[in-house]
Structure 1
């Protein structure tokens, strides 16, 4: 051990001799052990390492010479220096036997303290040196083990890292090429080691110029460099890489250690993100422009404010539902059948009095939005003036493939006699715009038995395989009991002030009150602690804060509630699938109908 004392061993069968010798040897940093026989001495030497052993020559049984010979025959004790202690061995022959047995010296009794201490000092210092050397050897072995362990760990990290580790010398010759580099660039280390990085197309001249600039001597500091440059892949050509470089200086030599990250996917994702942001900006502005056009044209051609509000809300709902369908299909394309089903679910079309026939097709986003508005106008006009305004009227919606597009026919039968209008309204203009404003693409025939609209779409249509329809069945609009919301206390949890104001106004117009608005989760929970509510409307997200706690509290309190959100069902709190969802923007009639159903479930009304 590094801090253990130097040990001497005294072997003598006479205790007084041991005590006397021990007293002369005793000093700091020295431990002296005693043995009264050869066997006892051997047992101690098997436990401890000794820098010197004093052996009495004359001992009963095994004497000092025999013990010395035994020590030389044992590997562990062979190197222990021996000084014989004797009072009689003046004979040269006997002394030679002692040296032959391994002795390094003799001390004669009576012992001269000065001689003893001087000889003991030599072996004490030799023992210290041996101990220090052993300590240094142990430390060097530990350092070597730590070095090897660190090198193995570093190699394991570099070989399994998603980064490529490459080392270049001052001439840009490859000196190290990790397994990560092999994977990233598709080139084995054997083909790169010792070769200039410019050979084989791995590094181009512009990249080489960047790395050479890094290698130029600086102000003595160890700067960290980074850059994005293309590097050659063995099979795919140049790939985008982010490179982080460190300069290692060894004497006059400078080495460049590179950590390389393949950013091809990141670059592609950035390009896609920029494209999507631009596309989203384009779609939002187009949608707002459409809403603006609908509002302006509706105001110009409406008979009054009430007429405008009703028509504007209906058209806005048609756009909103079409947007929801397109969002579900990631704004690629969506089936025409699904849009028709959605018009039925929204109450624009009557599923029991609609007959449709045509091959499965899907529409591009722009075509889908225009067609949604057109079907809304056709359904609204039929409900006001045409076939759907009388009990026996029917609507036949047929379409067929025509080149790369379709020919769609809306035909009404069984309605009141038809007379052409004196002048076209905004709704007719919307229907005519569905085909992109092309002349002759939309025609109308005011037959006495029912109007017939023909719409030809020359693009934006893709045929689908049979059996890929939406399968969404129609939903009959529920009848709202008269004064269903009269006097109801309602909690509105909504963080958008304008939306909250609009909902509150609609509820108060329906006779509800008082209506309390909470804009945060804490405010909603505090309101539920202090008041009793008949109903609640819950936004799906309050400025990024989840509303699960409010929904759970409403359920525990047995307060009927619905979600009002721009999100789809998949983004709402889990476990509340039984709570209705009102999509933003909402129609006032739909809002009242859902709340009435919460208070008076349709099943209970049917039983009555």
Structure 2
């Protein structure tokens, strides 16, 4: 408290004496209090701290000696210096009693001003020094309190942090080991403190050499970071990321380490690397399959129209199988789901299919092969077999055999079967993709209907539960070319080749004006300038979301569908009523979806 004044106390029963002393003592920085009796003096001393008390010896009631004795008997006033003021003759008895009562000096009346001021100056300076020392003491206490509070907060943060905090001295002896370090490495602080880190099994020789290099006198870098392996009590070596700070003390440097366990990150990096490798493998395999299908189709097709129909259908089968596997994060997927997909796109007719078999899952490779197989079987049945006439049926059954299944495709009610003179591409494709092993695929060309037997010896996992019922097939849209005739269509697509393909299909389906835009701004401008009967909206335009375009179409009451390689979860939210055509798509599904947008089924028909 730098502004607190130094206080003196004058105790005298005669007011004139007090005023005289006050006048002699008065100076800047000094506050002089007056008391006319011992009682009043004691009351003041309970309130204020005094650097000096001047006591009149002879006072009525309690005299100066008795007041001094009372002051010395009380803790608060025991240290107050006392100077007696007396008009009596000085004798040894009085002087002895005064010193015995605690006085430090005597002043005899009449008072010599010079003597009084010199004596008072001594106690004024002592009081000022005591005040300054008290202020310094208070400041040191505050600093110590703030230091202890900061240290406590730092310790709480280090103990609760997911990081481990470790302090090493110049010789790599462990000086501090946080609670986080105990949790991270499964080692208690009392087992490690004051021990060389390299002798504990926590730090190996290579790590010790790295940290010693950080502490080397010639190294001026204040901070370091690296990755190294440190020892866990139970798990053994674990990968860690370490950040080191050099703290230079008066005698030696210390190293403060902040350590992060990166086991999960390393595992994730390994998984990511594995997934990238697997993705590259799958992409190249898929492209190789597409290349093989294209080459064989070109070689065995009668003309380009025949090639286009077969190639696009097979490509669609692969694409839908990929979608099923993507929904299951490329884990196994149910065989029933693959069959349901064939029904959903119209390759199979749910009313003309009878299936039976235990629920099983297929691995990704097996799923892709079976997708092509079922597509070929269904396509052949529609062209030549049981599904080419109104009354034909397909029976699809499978039973478990060892670690696999035996699947039977049996056609009934179709035209009389004549065994082919030579195997076509479709038959060869079924035999190749379904198994590839001798005897894995067998075709029995019975007159009443062909029977295919396919043995899958691997890639099959049995499941518990009943097979799901097949959903209804899509409602046929009669004459989509007639429905789309003359309609104006907005195509929002950033891939030029895909946009060109969509435009060609729309024009073949009878659409009128087709406008293509390739960005969000261009789409919004087109909606502001023109009126469209239909719209096809890509799910993403060069990385930019299409929410604004979808909202503009809804506000303009323009029926639209999404055309995207993304699943529904990656499309704008709140537009679940807009159909989704996934790329790549068959031309029939495009025209059929647009026809349903223009003429949605009535509620009664939907029932």
**TM-score, normalised relative to structure 1:** 0.90
Q: Match for residue 123 of structure 2?
A: 123
Gaps of 5+ in 2: none
After superposition, where does 1:194-343 map in structure 2 within 5 Å? 194-199=194-199, 201-219=201-219, 221-343=220-342
CA contact (8 A) 1:335 1:470 kept: no
What's the secondary structure of 1:383's corresponding residue?
A: helix
Partners of 2:512 and 2:334 in 1: CA distance: 42
| Residue 488 (1) aligns with residue 493 (2) | no
CA contact (8 A) 1:10 1:35 kept: yes
After superposition, where does 1:558-569 map in structure 2 within 5 Å? 558-569=557-568
Q: Match for residue 430 of structure 2?
A: 431
Partners of 2:548 and 2:73 in 1: CA distance: 85
Post-superposition shift, 1:566? 1.9
Give CA-to-partner distance per residue, 1:482-507, whole Å, 9 cap, x none. 53233434444444443334334433
What's the secondary structure of 1:398's corresponding residue?
A: strand
Partners of 1:529 and 1:92 in 2: CA distance: 118
What's the secondary structure of 1:456's corresponding residue?
A: strand
Q: Match for residue 381 of structure 1?
A: 380
Q: Match for residue 10 of structure 1?
A: 10
Give the direction of change, closer, same or farther, for the CA distance of 1:553–1:38 in structure 2 (3 Å limit).
Answer: farther
What's the secondary structure of 2:371's corresponding residue?
A: helix
CA contact (8 A) 1:12 1:55 kept: yes
RMSD: 2.9
Give the direction of change, closer, same or farther, for the CA distance of 1:91–1:460 in structure 2 (3 Å limit).
Answer: same
Post-superposition shift, 1:138? 1.5
Give the direction of change, closer, same or farther, for the CA distance of 1:487–1:88 in structure 2 (3 Å limit).
Answer: farther
Q: Match for residue 588 of structure 2?
A: 589
Q: Match for residue 103 of structure 1?
A: 103
Post-superposition shift, 1:325? 1.0
Partners of 2:402 and 2:94 in 1: CA distance: 126
Post-superposition shift, 1:550? 4.0
Q: Match for residue 442 of structure 2?
A: 443
Partners of 1:103 and 1:249 in 2: CA distance: 54
CA contact (8 A) 1:319 1:369 kept: yes
Greater mean alpha carbon deviation, residues 111-120 or residues 568-577: 568-577
Q: Match for residue 473 of structure 2?
A: 475
Partners of 1:102 and 1:94 in 2: CA distance: 13
Greater mean alpha carbon deviation, residues 496-505 or residues 125-134: 496-505
What's the secondary structure of 1:444's corresponding residue?
A: strand
Post-superposition shift, 1:175? 3.2
Partners of 2:62 and 2:39 in 1: CA distance: 9
Give CA-to-partner distance per residue, 1:262-307, whole Å, 9 cap, x none. 2222111111110000001111111122222223332333333333
Q: Match for residue 343 of structure 2?
A: 344
CA contact (8 A) 1:6 1:128 kept: yes
What's the secondary structure of 2:150's corresponding residue?
A: helix
CA contact (8 A) 1:488 1:513 kept: yes
Greater mean alpha carbon deviation, residues 424-433 or residues 274-283: 424-433
Give the direction of change, closer, same or farther, for the CA distance of 1:80–1:331 in structure 2 (3 Å limit).
Answer: same
Q: Match for residue 573 of structure 1?
A: 572
Give CA-to-partner distance per residue, 1:125-168, whole Å, 9 cap, x none. 11121112112222222222222222222222222222223333
Gaps of 5+ in 1: none
Give the direction of change, closer, same or farther, for the CA distance of 1:371–1:19 in structure 2 (3 Å limit).
Answer: same
Post-superposition shift, 1:394? 1.0
Partners of 2:329 and 2:606 in 1: CA distance: 42
Give the direction of change, closer, same or farther, for the CA distance of 1:550–1:91 in structure 2 (3 Å limit).
Answer: farther
CA contact (8 A) 1:480 1:592 kept: no
CA contact (8 A) 1:341 1:474 kept: no
Post-superposition shift, 1:340? 0.8
After superposition, where does 1:37-56 map in structure 2 within 5 Å? 37-56=37-56
Give CA-to-partner distance per residue, 1:570-591, whole Å, 9 cap, x none. 3333333332222222222212
Give the direction of change, closer, same or farther, for the CA distance of 1:606–1:255 in structure 2 (3 Å limit).
Answer: closer
Greater mean alpha carbon deviation, residues 159-168 or residues 88-97: 88-97
Give CA-to-partner distance per residue, 1:99-123, whole Å, 9 cap, x none. 3333322333443332222111111
CA contact (8 A) 1:229 1:240 kept: yes
Partners of 1:41 and 1:527 in 2: CA distance: 98
**TM-score, normalised relative to structure 2:** 0.90
Post-superposition shift, 1:556? 4.4
Partners of 2:361 and 2:257 in 1: CA distance: 51
After superposition, where does 1:147-166 map in structure 2 within 5 Å? 147-166=147-166
Post-superposition shift, 1:527? 4.3
Partners of 1:502 and 1:188 in 2: CA distance: 69
After superposition, where does 1:393-542 map in structure 2 within 5 Å? 393-467=392-466, 469-471=467-469, 473-480=471-478, 482=480, 483-542=482-541
Give CA-to-partner distance per residue, 1:546-579, whole Å, 9 cap, x none. 4444444444444333222222223333333332
Residues matched between the structures, number = 606
What's the secondary structure of 1:506's corresponding residue?
A: helix
Partners of 2:14 and 2:521 in 1: CA distance: 94
Q: Match for residue 363 of structure 1?
A: 362
Post-superposition shift, 1:7? 2.2
Give CA-to-partner distance per residue, 1:11-66, whole Å, 9 cap, x none. 44555544443343333333333445544444433332221223344555555444
What's the secondary structure of 2:237's corresponding residue?
A: strand
What's the secondary structure of 2:477's corresponding residue?
A: coil
Give the direction of change, closer, same or farther, for the CA distance of 1:61–1:222 in structure 2 (3 Å limit).
Answer: farther
CA contact (8 A) 2:392 2:414 kept: yes
Give the direction of change, closer, same or farther, for the CA distance of 1:550–1:102 in structure 2 (3 Å limit).
Answer: farther
CA contact (8 A) 1:387 1:393 kept: yes
What's the secondary structure of 1:241's corresponding residue?
A: strand
Give CA-to-partner distance per residue, 1:312-363, whole Å, 9 cap, x none. 2211211111001111222121121111111111111111111122222222
Greater mean alpha carbon deviation, residues 454-463 or residues 342-351: 454-463
